[in-house]
Amino acid sequence: MTAGNATQRGEADARVRRVGRVLSPAAAWWLLIAVLLFVPAAHAERDLLSQAEWATTQERLSPSEAMALDYRAADTAALNLGPYQGRLWLRFSLDGESLGESRWLSIRWPYFRDLRIFLRDPGAPGGDWLEVRETTDMVGLLDMPGHPGRLLPRFAAEREVLIQLRADGPTALRLTLGTLEEERVRTLVRYTLFGVYLGAMLGMAVYSLFLMLAVRERTYLGYAVFLAATVLYIGLRYNILTPLLPDAVQSVPPAARAQVAVALVALSAIWFVRRFLRTQRDDRLADRALLGVMVAAVLSMPASIWLVGVVSFAIVAVYAVAAVVAIVWAAVRAMRRGFGPAGYLLLGWSVFALAVLLYLAMLLGWLPYATWLMIALPVGSLAEALLLAFALGNRIRHKQREETVLAQERDRYRFLSEQDGLTGLYNRRALDRRLDKAIAASLRTGDPLSLVVLDTDWFKDYNDRYGHLAGDDALRCLARVMRANVRDGDGCFRYGGEEFVILLPGQALAQATVVAERIREAYRGNSASELGPGGTVSLGVAQFREGDSANTLLARGDAALYHAKERGRDRVELAH
């Protein structure tokens, strides 16, 4: 790894740590604001369902016919039928004198269609049922109710009320009565809450895109897409983004829109997880399981639009659970194979998975329709987004450590491949590479370049007299002398047998000659004291000149060496 790359990686790592420090307290404040805003809004309504009765039918009935159904008392503030296809009827009585301004009747569930509300007028001939068609006099985006409702007309005395709802999918509701002003405030709170949630999620998504560009890691893109898909689902689920959708999209049933958004969440989550855990490379079994869930999510998108709601919801529920299980399973497998960042992913995903499973249990009718379950998904997704930000930071640091280790291993293996086993000096392969680079640098900068070619004198006779082990010691001694008498930037190479080369970048012929003489004298002194008489070396010095190549420069140095041997050995000769 080069110094420039290391610096960039260090800066990127610092940015990852900074985002964690920024987002952690910010997310805590966002969650606190959400709770403080939600609590007063959740209890400012009058409950009607506990005093109502309900019945179901598959047929389209008139109000008079609906009165003959087998009604059951609700006896609760919320009703949850689970997945249901058909018509739901509610009946109860209201005292017009006690209503005052509380005339906004709201169905707290966005997935119903064909909402019809009827008032029985005892004064009308035959006690006919009159349909309430008035919605609201509120205008503007922030004044749009998020749930189906009607503005009741003013009336005196007590009236019987019938409500018809057509359901096709998860069916739950709360029936409330309040004023227009309360509904306006409630709608504003809902948009404020969503704005807080949107700011938190998209803020982290946008920052992750900047980190992706900084560290060149596309896993951050998967994280950003996953956050955006989650925001889309929450916005559709709470009927906040619906007014912003094109008319063609608004014609799709609300439940179908939400189920398509679920598919997008599953696709982006698994895409992110596959890149994060590197399952394509490290765990083919888990990768195939994740891909299978992705295929199911893709196939569910047209099914959500064209199939009946209870069937498409069943499909969505199956692959949603499969996605949760597959991601947890893949993360556990990654931890077992020693991939540390998988633990952070498992922690973040487990929070979201718990929220998903609780919310899904409510949609299936296994848990009651409750306020805390309704907000579990956005709160869980916000907590997960923060935890995944930490997971990504750890993932990038893990990757940087891996790259550092790989770079060190590459350097070590390259050094071993270019190192002479006997002397520890560089070998001929390294000389070829370094000499070409030194010549290119000299041509570019104009700095001088010299080399010294040296060879031990009478080495064969020395081996025959003292033995090959002593000859090896002599070569190792020469290598130590060479290293002790050159600079850090110079290179010492074993060229072959008992012949060596010293590369001296930035040094002219005169300076190189001084180095050569120093080595000759130092080796002669060492050999006389450690290896016996006759330990000398001959050296040839050459300076790079215009027109030289690596081969011609070496050849001139080699010729100077042999000239030194011809003139009696134990001397330094200069190349012509």
C-alpha 322/C-alpha 486 separation (Å) is 67
Which tokens hold the place of 78?
Answer: 């919320």
Domain positions in the chain are 3-41+193-406, 46-178, 428-574
Strand segments, DSSP code E, in 256-329 are: none
Give the Å distances, CA to CA, from 452 to 316, 470, 505.
77, 25, 11
- For strands 537-543 and 572-574, give the pairing: parallel
68: Cβ contacts below 8 Å, ≥ 6 apart: none
* Helices (H), ranges, 364-503: 371-417, 428-445, 459-466, 468-484
Which tokens hold the place of 258?
Answer: 């939400």
Domains 46-178 and 428-574 fall in the same CATH topology: no
- Angle at 29 (CA atoms; ends 26, 31), nearest 5 degrees: 110
Which tokens hold the place of 366?
Answer: 């296994």
The amino acid present at 408, given as its one-letter code, is Q
User: In this structure, are residues 241 and 258 in contact, taking their beta carbons and an 8 Å threshold?
Assistant: no
Indicate the CATH number for domain 428-574: 3.30.70.270
Which tokens hold the place of 193?
Answer: 């809450």
For domain 46-178, give its CATH number from 2.30.40.10, 3.40.50.1820, 2.60.40.2380, 3.40.50.300: 2.60.40.2380
Which tokens hold the place of 470?
Answer: 């002593």
Give the Å distances, CA to CA, from 280 to 61, 188, 284.
56, 46, 6
What does each of the 576 residues of the chain score in pLDDT, given as a tens digit?
444 444 444 554 555 445 444 444 444 444 554 444 444 444 456 889 999 999 999 999 999 899 999 999 988 889 999 999 999 999 999 988 888 888 888 888 888 888 899 998 766 655 688 888 766 554 444 445 567 888 888 888 888 999 999 998 899 999 999 888 888 888 888 888 888 888 888 888 888 888 777 767 788 888 889 999 999 888 888 778 877 778 777 777 778 888 889 999 999 999 999 988 889 989 999 999 999 999 999 988 888 888 888 888 898 899 899 999 999 999 999 999 888 888 888 988 888 899 999 999 999 999 999 888 888 888 888 888 888 877 777 777 766 676 677 777 776 776 667 788 888 899 988 899 899 999 999 999 999 999 999 999 888 888 888 888 888 888 888 999 999 999 988 999 998 888 999 999 999 999 999 999 999 999 887 664 444 544 789 999 999 998 899 999 999 999 999 999 999 899 999 997
What does the pLDDT look like over 370-399, one tens digit per residue?
888 888 888 888 888 888 877 777 777 766
Edge to edge, the sheet with strand 104-107 lists 46-47, 175-178, 104-107, 149-151
